[in-house]
Amino acid sequence: MIVVGCGRSHADRTVTAIPQLASQEVYLSERAGLEEAAAPLSVKIDWNGPSDSDPQRQVDLLTAATNSNRYGIVINPIGTNASTSSIQRALSKGIPVVVARDSVNLAPQAHLSFLLEDYAAGASLVTDRLNEVTGGRGQVMILGLDPNATSSRSRFDSVEHALQRDCPQINVADRVISPFSSGFAQIAAEQALQRHPDLVAFIALNNRAGLGAAMAVKVKGASSRIRVIVFDQSLPLLLRLRRGEVDSVIVQNMRAIGRAAMQNIDADRRGQRYEHAVTFKPQLVTLKNIDLENTQETLTVNWEPR
């Protein structure tokens, strides 16, 4: 816990929020949390991010927010290095910055806090589900590793470790790098099914890979036999879960992260204590619990005031 000093008044009560992808559901849930926490504080959220995975666009938006001396900045960084210099410039001007879900190569410090994914907890959800639906036996494939993304590697390493610890009789038949589109992932999944016809599950490290795996399994007519377990929610994935084409989704609690980000920024501006490094546990969503109130609360992308 870091104390930032006395409260600081600020005329422009606007927080710039920079997601990795501005229109993707996983980040829109974060926006819902930001807006929910900002409304009673009379703070405006300026939501603006890339339409594709463009780290330079994030740097440009960070620079603009710093030049405008915003009330605070929230960023879901693309990569660990691209935005560090821009973040440091914002900090030097006393602007609170919150790094959300994925980390950067900076340590928690005055005005800088981290609200991160709990990789180990997500991996444990995967192995618990595999033991439940496969009896802890069979071959699985891990799909969607992006070697250029530290967060993707952290998920991969956590899943591998959890499989060795919790599922000793489950064998990883293949590990496929597929950082690109769901179409690329589908091709990779179809090829894997040809090489390993006895697969019992795909573990997809992101929603693009999950969508590709689900389409490949559906084409093969094997949705009832091959489970697709996916990290990160998206509307197409949740629709396929309802149809039985996806077994389960590891849902990041981005709404809670959004609320906490706004609270950190406001506490920083007021000179109050707050935690500068917190991890958030994800939730396993299946057909059985998707319509429960607490699940819908996590998944909502509605940020209209109640």
**pLDDT (tens digit, 9 = 90+) per residue, 24-58?**
888 999 999 999 999 999 999 999 999 887 889 99
Q: How far from 6 is each of 3, 61, 88, CA to CA, in Å? A: 9, 28, 21
Predicted confidence (pLDDT) at residue 258 exceeds the cutoff of 70? yes
Average of per-residue pLDDT across 232-252: 95
Question: Are 85 and 198 within one domain?
Answer: no
Q: What percent of the chain has pLDDT over 90?
A: 76
Please report, for the domain that includes residue 129, its CATH number. 3.40.50.2300
237 and 259 share one domain: no
- Asked if residue 65 and residue 101 are part of one domain, the reply reads yes
Do residues 237 and 127 both lie within one domain?
A: yes
Q: Considering the domain boundaries, does residue 189 fall inside one? A: yes
Which residue type does 124 have?
S
| 0.85 surpassed by pTM | yes
Predicted confidence at residue 80, as pLDDT, reads: 79
- 155 in any annotated domain: yes
Q: Give 183's pLDDT tier (boundaries 50, 70, 90).
A: confident
Could you tell me if 131 and 213 lie in one domain? yes
Q: Are residues 25 and 51 in the same domain?
A: yes
State mean pLDDT over 145-151: 81
User: Where in the sequence is the domain holding 194, given as residue range(s)?
Assistant: 119-244
Indicate if the pLDDT at residue 228 is higher than 80.
yes
Q: Is the pLDDT of residue 81 over 90?
A: no
Selected residue with higher pLDDT from 143 and 184:
143
- Least confident residue range of 38-52, 138-152, 270-284: 138-152
Please tell me whether residues 134 and 199 are part of one structural domain. yes
Q: Is the pLDDT of residue 305 over 70?
A: no
The answer to whether residues 96 and 110 belong to one domain is yes
Q: Looking at residue 12, what is its pLDDT?
A: 80
Strands of the 72-75 sheet, one edge to the other: 44-47, 14-18, 72-75, 97-101, 112-117, 277-280
214 within a domain of the structure (yes/no): yes
Residue 293 lies in a domain: no
221 and 277 in one domain? no
127 and 30 within one domain: no
The answer on 160 and 232 residing in a single domain is yes
Across 53-77, average pLDDT: 94
The average pLDDT across 214-234 equals 94
Residue 4 contacts by C-beta under 8 Å, 6 or more apart in sequence? 110, 111, 268, 271
Structurally, the chain folds into a number of domains equal to 2
